[in-house]
Amino acid sequence: MTRLNVNGRDHTVDADPGTPILWALRDTLGMTGTKFGCGAALCGACTVHLDGQAVRSCITPISAAEGKKVNTIEATTDGRDRVGTAVHAAWVKHDVAQCGYCQSGQIMSATAFIKSLPRGKLPSAAQIDSAMAGNICRCGTYARIRAAVADAAKALA
């Protein structure tokens, strides 16, 4: 039994402690907003926040999350998280998504990145690219991702 705190709620997960957070979320807790893309930390589709840090949930075992706080796309964009809310709004405004499958991970990476910025500091184009380089979008929505991240950072500055 592994205790997981997801989006502020405690859960007990009856699974092998080596089970990645991704599959505990999706298959055990039924939270499917976090996506499976590669299973090897190569595409970023599964990005969640572990104590505020963006991590790839497909390779992070639930044992590593015990005593920590897991935050997922569901809570990041439901209005409670100031930065996540701004990122969500920018994503809609710029009509970023095409198939949309990778966008949970993109938004989680963008949110962690903006939270990491010194208050009032706007990111450079190169910083945005570097922060988002771990997230693949096969539909190629990168131009709008750039615009949305910059816009969200500006709205929060």
Partner 1 sequence: MLSDFDRGEMPRALQRLLAASSSDRATLPRRSFLKLASGSGLALGAFPHLATAQTNGVTQPTAALKPTQQPSAFVQIAPNGEVTVTINRLEFGQGVQTGLPMILAEELDADWTQVRSRNGSNDPAYIDPLFGIHLTGGSHSIKNSFMQYRELGARARAMLLAAAAQRWNVDVATLRTQAGTVLGPNGRKLSYGELAEAAMALPVPEKVTLKNPKDFRIIGRATTRLDARAKSSGRQDFGIDVRLPGQLTAVVAHPPVFGARLTSVDDAAARAIKGVKTVLRVPLDRGAEGVAVVADGYWPAKQGREALKLQWDTASVEKVDSQRLLVQYRELANQSGPRKFDADMAPLANAPHQLEAEFVFPYLAHAPMEPLNCTVQLSDGRAELWLGTQCPGLDGVAAARVLGLKPEQVTMHVQTAGGGFGRRFVGSSDYVVEACEVAKAARAAGLNAPVRTLWSREDDIKGGYYRPMHLHRARIGFDERGDVLAWDHVIVGQSITSGTVFGEFQVKNGIDGTATEGMRDPYPIPMRLTVHHPKVNVPVLWWRSVGSTHTAYVMETLLDDIARATKQDPVAYRMRLFADKQPRHRAALKLAVDKSGYGKKQLPTGRAWGVAVHESFDSVVAYVVEASVREGRPVLHRVTAGVHCNLAVNPRSVEAQVQGAAVMGLSMCLPGSAITLKDGAVEQSNFGDFTVARITDMPAFDVHIVPSAEPPTGMGEPGLPALAPAFANAIARLTGKPLRQLPFNLA
86 φ, ψ to 5°? -65, -40
85 φ, ψ to 5°? -65, -40
Q: Is 9 in the site for partner 1 (CB under 8 A)?
A: no
The contact pattern for partner 1, residues 107-146, with x = CB under 8 A and - = no contact, is: x--------------------xxx-xx-xxxxxxxxxxxx
Q: Name the residue among 144, 77, 79 with its Cα closest to residue 111.
A: 77
* In the complex, minimum distance from the CB of residue 113 to partner 1, in angstroms, rounded to a whole number: 12
Q: Is 66 in the site for partner 1 (CB under 8 A)?
A: no
- Show the tokens assigned to 133: 């380089």
Q: Is 30 in the site for partner 1 (CB under 8 A)?
A: yes
Q: Which of 54, 102, 153, 156 binds partner 1 (CB under 8 A)?
A: 102
Contact 23, 86 (CB under 8 A): no
Per CB under 8 A, the segment of 2-10, 49-57, 74-82, 114-122 that binds partner 1 is: 74-82
Per CB under 8 A, the segment of 2-10, 63-71, 94-102, 113-121 that binds partner 1 is: 94-102
84 φ, ψ to 5°? -60, -40
How many residues in total does the chain contain?
157
Toward partner 1, which CB reaches closer, 5 or 98? Answer: 98
What is the C-alpha separation between 19 and 17, in angstroms, rounded?
A: 5
Helix axes 103-116, 125-132, angle to 10 degrees: 130
Q: Is 50 in the site for partner 1 (CB under 8 A)?
A: no
- For 72, other C-beta atoms within 10 Å of its C-beta total 22
- Which residues contribute to the site for partner 1 (CB under 8 A)? 15-16, 19-20, 23, 26-28, 30, 32-40, 42-43, 45, 72-74, 77-78, 88, 91-92, 95-104, 107, 128-130, 132-133, 135-146
